[in-house]
Structure 1
Amino acid sequence: MPEQVKGSRSRTESRLFATSVASVYPLYLAKVERKGRTKAELDEVITWLTGLDEPGLRRHLDSGTTFEELFEQVDLNPRASAITGTVCGVRVEDVEDPLMQKIRYLDKLVDELAKGRSMDRVLRA
């Protein structure tokens, strides 16, 4: 396996960063709905993390905004650093690339929502 230069992005990361949020949103929604949670709860989690309001989230989804564009344009919730744990076997607090860490924060929140955690716990209240 070729050695990755520190600070450079892997092909997988680059592809993920260029993926539209709208293309992943239905997967997040299906995951939480399978576990009895709602679209409103998913949207609340996303708006909490990103600082967007509901119309702002819809605009990003409708316009095909990529993860990279989304996280460049929003101010992450100051409590986001309280999001800890693993996603896909990787501790989110240890992710070095700032953009990948923000994506992992979102993944972790969706996982917690799907696992049935209370909204207060998910939103670090």
Structure 2
Amino acid sequence: MSRIFTTSFASVYPHYVTKVEKKGRTKAELDEVIEWLTGFDESALAGHLAAGTTFEEFFDAAELNPHASLITGVVCGVRVESVEDPLMQKIRYLDKLVDELAKGKAMEKVLRA
């Protein structure tokens, strides 16, 4: 089992915020991306952050977007669509969306509209 599975989502979330804000994007845009992927609205996300939910629990509770399989490309040298472990793939989907947001991609493209 990967260590990231038992890491709290709240411990990584500030790094996502920093990453996108450094590139001129907003926390609100990040939260929109997370909601698109997981179905968690602002209050559900806040609840997970406050509760110290692990990545495993976070994605167990998520309603993954039916278009998540359209997320392709490389994150940390790994092809997202080739990740075999379902939980790790969901984490990589999120990483990829955060990367695209930080790289200035249009929100419609990030959200696979």
Give the TM-score normalised by the residue count of structure 2.
0.99
Supply the distance in 1 between the matched residues of 2:91 and 2:99 (Cα, whole angstroms).
12
1:46: which partner in 2? 34
- Which of 13, 37, 45 is the equivalent residue of 1:25? 13
4+ runs deviating over 3 angstroms: none
Supply the distance in 1 between the matched residues of 2:33 and 2:93 (Cα, whole angstroms).
11
Gaps of at least 5 residues in structure 2 are: none
Any idea what SS the aligned residue of 1:78 has? coil
How far has the Cα of 1:20 moved from its partner? Answer: 0.5
How far has the Cα of 1:18 moved from its partner? Answer: 0.2
Any idea what SS the aligned residue of 2:67 has? helix
Does the alignment pair 1:102 with 2:90? yes
- Which of 30, 42, 45 is the equivalent residue of 1:57? 45
2:76: which partner in 1? 88
How far has the Cα of 1:103 moved from its partner? Answer: 0.1
1:68: which partner in 2? 56
Gaps of at least 5 residues in structure 1 are: 1-8
**RMSD value over aligned CA atoms?**
0.5
How far has the Cα of 1:52 moved from its partner? Answer: 1.0
1:3: which partner in 2? none
Any idea what SS the aligned residue of 1:124 has? coil
Supply the distance in 2 between the matched residues of 1:73 and 1:117 (Cα, whole angstroms).
28
Query: Percent identity among equivalent residues?
Result: 73
Query: What amino acid sits opposite 1:85 in the alignment?
Result: G
How far has the Cα of 1:75 moved from its partner? Answer: 1.1
How far has the Cα of 1:90 moved from its partner? Answer: 0.3
